[in-house]
Structure 1
Amino acid sequence: MDPNAVDRRIFHRLVSLEEAIHILESEGILKPIDIDEVDLLESYGRILAEDIYAPIDYPPFDRSEVDGYGVMVKSVEGADELNPIELTVKGSVKVGESPSIAIDLGEAVEIATGAMIPRGVEGVVMEEYTERIDNRKVVVYRSVYAGENIAYAGSDIAIGELVIPRGTTLTYSEIAVLAALGIRRVKVFKSPKVFVISTGNELIEPGKSLDIGKIYDSNGYLITSLLKMLNIDVKFYGIVKDDEEELYKVIVDALKEYDIVVTSGGTSAGLEDVVYRVFSRVGRIVVHGLKLKPGKPTVIAVSNNGKLLIGLPGFPFSAVSNALLLLIPIIKKIMGSSDQNIFVKAKIGNKIRKDIGRKWFVPVVLNKVAGEVYAIPFSYSSGNISVLIKADGIALLPENRDVIDEGEYIDVLPLSNRAIEGIIMGSHDILLNEILNRSGLLNRFRVISIGSYNGVELIKKGYIDIAPIHIFDETEGLYNIPLFKKDEVLREKAFLVRGYERRLVLAFRPGNPKNITSFEDILRKDIRFVNRNRGSGTRAYIDYILRKLAEKLGVSFSDLVRRINGYRYEVSTHSGVAAAIAQGRADIGVCIEYAAIIYNLNYIPLSWESYDFIVSKDSYKSKGVVKAFLNVLRSSSIKDIINSTKGYRASEDIGEIICC
């Protein structure tokens, strides 16, 4: 038995948002009471005077999204309650540390939520599906797929990407993103006095050097700037490590002067989650756990001197959702305000299956189609930061439903007041935002990366305007055109416009320590490969090359990939591939040349891929911004930008319709 198990607080009774408010009302806390400055937070409401480019990838390393055990996919194939699999535990990785552990088949590593993924780990089994036998053994009752419960480096924001353009009015969303990227300098009354604390051993103050395994604190900036919208006195203390005594002292001192203490992080039930313990010492916990996803690990307490303490989750989307839908309404009541959140009704853009018993918060893009407002969900991790500036709103999916059918009306809490004229959703490319910005179109489009195939489907449904794609057809050895020609619905709804080309390379570490000379080296036992995610255009190209290699060697494709160490180690972006190699989790991978250069990797050129654009016919007819984008692609200035970027080249017929 875990000797520390007695110190854990399990979520015995979850309550709804409404019930949490009612509990506080019955405690007599939600009533008016009586009632100082920092650098980055002073920027709220100001106009940004420069383009902000991401100086780091976000997240900056592969990290676990759950508490559990990191494994290789093959090690737990077929595992279930009737067929458990026993693995050898190599050790553990805590939040904020750089792991020296590597695992192989039959091995596992204990890993905490937010901790860095060690070499060899392809997926993380949640702690709930395991049983620890002793210090060396764990039994696993569930299989995992490649990438399960892992957020990969660069999967959210790519280094060098234009994140926020000059001329943007900064809100809490933009400020949080700036903080998460480590950008310190840019700038900004009176009701309840609120004291905000960020907790976590992994956190670094923006502006300081980012060590391996660490991330910049953004929640402290996010929560504090959000509360400043209420024109109240908010104090951001800074970062407190996961140390119970240190956090206790800070909170005790704060309660002498402030009416409300708000923390972020450390609210769950793990060994290093100290917030609920400190809250118990300074007062009485009245809520620990909400019927929400994300955002369940939320703690509310009343101090011994009648002050309010609220512990928000650590991941940014969880924190902002609970701040908007719980913290702000609570503070408004304490201010004596009768204002409530204003929701809009929208039709959900696709069918969603969910758990019964929990309300789901889902980031969405809003678009008007045939007179109806549609909420188009997009995939995210609650640890993502860019969702704060990409989403138009948060959709609230009811707790008593397990299926929300496409086209059903749902409530959406709007997040953005920006006037958006067009929506671009599809394959990610780091140069696209730069092209839009140089042409003055970036603030007129909402641009979200969801993958080529998902973009195609949204175009076919009529929900978006433009879908960037790079889908490789193995039979014809071409990009995009074969897919378009084979899909009658797509040809009816849209046309294909020539874009530009990106060079794919075989990347490896500087100095070539493994003496890599060709693609065939990924079959070597001493080489670990990092693959792209299934459904991506690059993955289709990789599998095409592997099939040709299998044919050359006289073996089947399935036999060949079994020989590849890391074939199931999948990441979702080119930056993710480059980061995995640069940080030592892999030795070799396929990415665009630009990503390899950014990470100072050596590489061997492979081929050029076509990054083209599917354009909705209806949008082309009705939206001037869509026509403006095609005109921009044909301009000589944009061709110069593309050709001057290493690893890119403009097609001769860029901007022209090539298939309809």
Structure 2
Amino acid sequence: MTEFFKVLEAEEVIKIISDFPSLSAEEIRRDNACGRILAHSITSPEDLPHFPRSTMDGFAVRSQDTYGASEGLPLMLNVTGRVMMGMPCEIVLKPGEAVAITTGGMLPEGADAVIMEEYCHVLDEETIEITKSVTPWENVLRPGDDVVKGQELFSRGHRLRFQDIGLLAGLGIEKVEVFKKPEISVISTGDEIVDPSTREIPSGKVRDVNGPSIYARLNSMGYLTRHLGIVPDDEKKLLKTCEEALFGEKESDVLLLSGGSSIGMRDFTLNVISSLPESRILFHGIAIKPGKPTIFATAGNKAIWGLPGHPVSSMIVMLFFVEPFLRRLEGAKENKNFDKSVRATLAVNLPSAQGRLDFVRVTLNTDEAGNTFAHPVYGKSAMISTMTEADGLIAIPTHSEGLDKGTEVEVILF
């Protein structure tokens, strides 16, 4: 018989997640690549800009013709033309001459600087007076000043941001190779679960909370997620649904099972997972509270998470273990499991049992002096309201007996 509880500490779980291979690569259009993770580094195919261009409105000049100019001793230059935006400039600048130019315009041959229009006074159509000198290449971007041809722009594992997409567009890069995003199936299990749309709930039944919340979270993160509904505590039905999710026509890379992971006469999840092809249970239990009865397994190259049935436990396991795992699959090189946090002072003593990582829900308030305090939200892991009332979580370390009132803590924000 398969060992039921193979409990690991949180650090061991994170190590397993970090060692999991990423999915294969795919080529996609640049405009669809924001938020995706590069499977290969990208180098620049050309200089940017590829011609000398002005960064200011003003006049293109030879810097040496401006030396000594000041408010008290202005210099005069002859205006010989205007640079047209978006057009090649065929003007050749000679000593003592200036050419009108706008931001982004191509610098004429012979010019090596632009003097801002604030320091230029038009005397007539052919003459300007300048009251400031400029240095060589002042207010000018030369070829390669922004990006040099052959320069590495982004390394493998970089998550593309919207500003990165802009740079790729500026260099004419139309397609990029990124890691595939995992496709995920979500199944809620349990005889006691009914569809959330059920108006009149029979005694002993509860609406499905975990399925919709998990689906919504994954959907908001851009994953292709399929919610396969509710499966009762029937081994054959659950096995068939899992096989269809992982190996059917629309096969998923990851299967999330909500419920059926704790010890109980009618919890069949572990047996079902063990019956899947090439299955391997990596652990059954994490030394955390809430969320201990968590399963992680593989079936071939597919991943399976058995999440606790209690909503709070399920959500915390999602935030701290499942989501970092999914980011790993899509190629992320960072192993962070939260995006935003704040420092706060603990308002009360918080006891804890050694040997487990405790996640405590807290609310935040700030006093008139600007000090932020964290207050625990008390309640059992079956009470979803404790998550909706909380602003975030604090983690009490595994080998700590608790935290004292007044301790500065990191609050992981929802």
TM-score class, shorter-chain normalisation, is 0.5 to 0.7
Q: Counterpart in 2 of 1:277? A: 271
Instruction: Identify the residue that residue 51 of structure 1 maps to in structure 2.
Output: none
- In the alignment, what sits opposite 2:321? 326
Shift of 1:409: 2.0
Give distance in 2, aligned partners of 1:273 and 1:344: 39
The residue correspondences of 1:341-380 to structure 2 (distance < 5 A) are 341-342=338-339, 343-369=341-367, 370-380=369-379
Match of 1:232 in 2: 223
Q: For residues 235 and 294 of structure 1, do their structure 2 counterparts lie closer, same or farther at Cα, with a shift above 3 Å needed?
A: same
Q: Which residue of 2 aligns with 1:194?
A: 184
Relative to 1, partners in 2 of residues 1:33 and 1:310: Cα closer, same or farther, differing over 3 Å? Answer: farther
The residue aligned with 2:96 is none
Distance across 2 between alignment mates of 1:375 and 1:338 = 31
- AA of the residue aligned to 1:414: L
CA contact under 8 A between 1:293 and 1:359: conserved in structure 2?
yes
| TM-score in terms of structure 1 length | 0.37
TM-score of the superposition, structure 2-length normalised?
A: 0.58
| Residues 195, 237 of structure 1: 8 Å contact kept | yes
Show the 5 A alignment for 1:25-104.
25-26=18-19, 29-33=20-24
1:293 to 289, 293, 311: 289
SS in 2 for 1:401: coil
The one-letter code matched in structure 2 to 1:265 is G
* Separation of aligned partners in 1, 2:399 and 2:370: 29
1:402 is the counterpart of 2:395 = no
After superposition, the C-alpha distances for 1:34-78 in whole angstroms (9 at most, x for unaligned) are 69xxxxxxxxxxxxxxxxxxxxxxxxxxxxxxxxxxxxxxxxxxx
Residues in 1 aligned to 2:226 and 2:266: alpha-carbon distance in whole angstroms: 25
Question: Residues 81-138 of structure 1: CA distance to partner in whole angstroms, max 9, x if unpaired?
Answer: xxxxxxxxxxxxxxxxxxxxxxxxxxxxxxxxxxxxxxxxxxxxxxxxxxxxxxxxxx
Separation in structure 2 between the aligned mates of residue 23 and residue 326 of structure 1, nearest angstrom: 10
Classify 1:315/1:210 alpha carbon distance in 2 versus 1 (closer, same or farther; 3 Å).
same
Q: Which amino acid aligns with 1:299?
A: I
Q: Is this contact kept in 2: 1:397–1:410, CA < 8 A?
A: no
* C-alpha contact (below 8 Å) 2:10/2:357 kept by paired residues: no
The reply to whether residue 302 of structure 1 matches residue 298 of structure 2 is yes
The reply to whether residue 18 of structure 1 matches residue 11 of structure 2 is: yes
Q: Is the 8 A contact 2:233 2:268 kept in 1?
A: yes
Q: Write out aligned runs for 1:430-449 (5 A).
A: none
State the 1:354 CA deviation.
1.4
Q: Give the conservation status (yes or no) of the 8 Å contact 2:22–2:331.
A: yes
Partners of 2:213 and 2:371 in 1: CA distance: 32
Look up the match of 1:66: none
SS of 1:261's equivalent in the other structure is strand
Partner of 1:314 in structure 2? 309
Q: How big is each residue's C-alpha offset from its partner over 1:579-599, in whole Å with a ceiling of 9 and x where there is no partner?
A: xxxxxxxxxxxxxxxxxxxxx
Shift of 1:314: 0.6
What corresponds to 1:130 in structure 2?
none
- Choose the corresponding residue for 2:242, options 246, 251, 263: 251
User: How far apart are the structure 2 equivalents of 1:314 and 1:199?
Assistant: 8
| Aligned residue runs from structure 1 range 489-508, under 5 A | none
Residue identity in the other structure for 1:225: A
Aligned 8 A contact 2:310 2:382 in 1: yes
Residue in 1 aligned with 2:385? 386
* C-alpha displacement of 1:218: 0.8
Report deviation, 1:374.
1.4
Q: CA deviation at 1:403?
A: 2.4
More helix by share: 1
1:217 and 2:208 correspond: yes
Stretches of structure 2 lacking an aligned partner (at least 5 in a row): 27-179
State the distance in 2 between where 1:203 and 1:273 align.
13
Contact 2:361 2:392 in 1 (8 A): yes
Q: Distance in 2 between matches of 1:34 and 1:382?
A: 39
Measure, in 1, the Cα distance between the counterparts of 2:18 and 2:351.
34
1:362 and 1:326 mapped to 2: Cα distance?
Answer: 16
Matches of 1:411 and 1:276 in 2, distance apart?
35
Give, in whole Å, the separation in 2 of the partners of 1:205 and 1:34: 37
Structure 1 residue 10, shift from structure 2 partner = 3.9
Q: Structure 1 residues 34 and 213, CA, compared in 2 at 3 Å: closer, same or farther? A: farther
Root-mean-square deviation (CA, aligned residues, Å) is: 1.8
d(CA) in 2 for partners of 1:24, 1:371:
39
Matches within 5 A, 1:402-481: 402-415=401-414
Report SS of the residue matched to 1:278. helix
Whether contact under 8 Å (1:34, 1:191) holds in the other structure is: no
Give the structure 1 partner of residue 259 of structure 2.
265
The structural deviation recorded for 1:344 is 2.6
Q: In the aligned structure 1, how far is the partner of 2:304 from the partner of 2:24? A: 15
Which residue type is aligned with residue 267 of structure 1? Answer: S
Q: Any idea what SS the aligned residue of 1:239 has?
A: strand
Alignment partners' CA distance in 1, 2:187 and 2:24: 21
The within-5 A match list for 1:91-240 is 191-208=181-198, 209-240=200-231
Instruction: State the Cα distance separating 1:278 from its structure 2 match.
Output: 1.2
Structure 1 330/371 Cα, relative in aligned 2: closer, same or farther at 3 Å? same
Cα contact 1:350–1:376 (8 A) shared by 2: yes
Q: C-alpha displacement at 1:18, in angstroms? A: 2.6
Consecutive unaligned residues in structure 1, runs of 5 or more: 1-5, 36-189, 416-660
Question: Structure 2 vs 1, CA of residues 33 and 324 (structure 1 numbering), >3 Å: closer, same or farther?
Answer: farther
Cα distance, 1:15 vs structure 2: 1.4
CA gap 1:33/1:411 in 2 versus in 1, 3 angstroms = farther
Letter in 1 for 2:281: I
Task: Give the corresponding residue for 2:121.
Answer: none
> What's the CA shift for 1:338?
4.2
For the residue of structure 1 that corresponds to 2:264, the secondary structure is coil
Contact 2:363 2:375 (C-alpha < 8 Å) held by counterparts:
yes
Structure 1 residue 384, shift from structure 2 partner: 0.9
Q: Alpha carbons of 1:315 and 1:321: their partners in 2 closer, same or farther (altered >3 Å)?
A: same
**Relative contact order, higher structure (CA 8 A, sep 6+):** 2
State how far apart, in whole Å, the 2-side matches of 1:197 and 1:30 are: 24
Contact 2:377 2:386 in 1 (8 A): no
Computing the radius of gyration from Cα coordinates, the structure with the larger value is: 2
1:372 CA displacement: 2.6
Matched pairs, number = 251
Deviation at 1:229, TM superposition (A): 2.1
Distance 2:275 2:205 in 1: 29
- What SS is found at the alignment partner of 2:406? coil
Counterpart secondary structure, 2:365: strand
Distance 2:325 2:18 in 1: 10
